Amino acid sequence: MKLLCRFYDPQRGTITWGGVDLRELDVTALRARIGVVFQEFMTYDLTAAENIGIGQVRHLDDRSRIVAAARTARIDDTVAALPHGYDTVLSRTHTDDGERAGVPLSGGQWQRLALARCLMRTDAELIVLDEPTSGLDAEGEHRVHSTLRRHTEGRTRLLISHRLSALRGAELIVTLVDGRIAEQGSHDELMDAGGEYARLFRLQAGGYQDARVR
């Protein structure tokens, strides 16, 4: 992810976008084409609206766009229910100018807020998501991914996850073992191949099945 965002350049090999080496592209222009949610995302001592809006700073004052992003990330109801809605400071450390105490969010709520921040970039051609729903339960994860599929239709979505149920609908799944590509294909192709992906998928799926009492 950091290589894609040009935080670093490859020491060997290349990453290309439309056949062009990323190192030949303007960094600012490249990053404008990407929306990212890192696994270790940032939380800011700002209002809920500001925490979302900084995903696209030029639209920081566009409340309708911020609310739309929150709805897509399924965090709108949570934010709207805060003491001052989108103007609630999300921190116990600071208060706003009116000396109103801030409100902290749970880990899963912060995760969806970070996702909303990424979704402010409605013109991003590539959406990169690193474990974006790890703090959610199975139902919440399913709902978020279903919404994301509709929202990012026509754009490229790169999802990194150890929770294989989230990857099942991907057009292409790439399995990494010790930092190298071990296999790639659709879910059905990889399950038929019986390799590492199939082993891990069955292992995780088994955890959701009721154990038989003997």
**97-135: per-residue pLDDT in tens?**
555 668 889 888 998 999 999 999 988 999 998 887 777
Does residue 93 have a pLDDT over 90?
Answer: no
> What are the structure tokens assigned to 41, written together?
């995302």
**170-201: per-residue pLDDT in tens?**
899 999 999 899 999 999 999 999 999 999 99
Q: What are phi and psi of 87, to 5 degrees?
A: -95, 10
Which ranges of the chain does DSSP label H, i.e. alpha helix?
A: 27-32, 48-53, 63-72, 76-80, 107-119, 138-151, 187-193, 196-206
| Residue-averaged pLDDT of the chain | 87
Q: How confident is the model at residue 40 (pLDDT cuts 50, 70, 90)?
A: confident
The CA-based angle 74-111-168, given to 5 degrees, is 75
CA distance 35 to 125: 8
Q: How confident is the model at residue 140 (pLDDT cuts 50, 70, 90)?
A: confident
Which ranges of 26-127 does DSSP label H, i.e. alpha helix?
A: 27-32, 48-53, 63-72, 76-80, 107-119
Size of the chain, expressed as the number of residues it contains: 214
Q: How far is CA 202 from CA 60, 184, 205, in A?
A: 44, 17, 5
Q: Which residue has the higher pLDDT, 35 or 101?
A: 35
CA distance 71 to 90: 18
Q: How confident is the model at residue 205 (pLDDT cuts 50, 70, 90)?
A: confident
Does residue 72 have a pLDDT over 60?
Answer: yes
**144-160: per-residue pLDDT in tens?**
788 778 777 888 999 99
Q: Using CB atoms within 10 A of its CB, is residue 30 exposed (0-12), middle (13-18) or buried (19+)?
A: middle
The CA-based angle 131-136-139, given to 5 degrees, is 115
CA distance 29 to 27: 6
> What are the structure tokens assigned to 191, written together?
């399950």
Q: How far is CA 63 from CA 60, 108, 110, 114, in A?
A: 8, 23, 19, 16
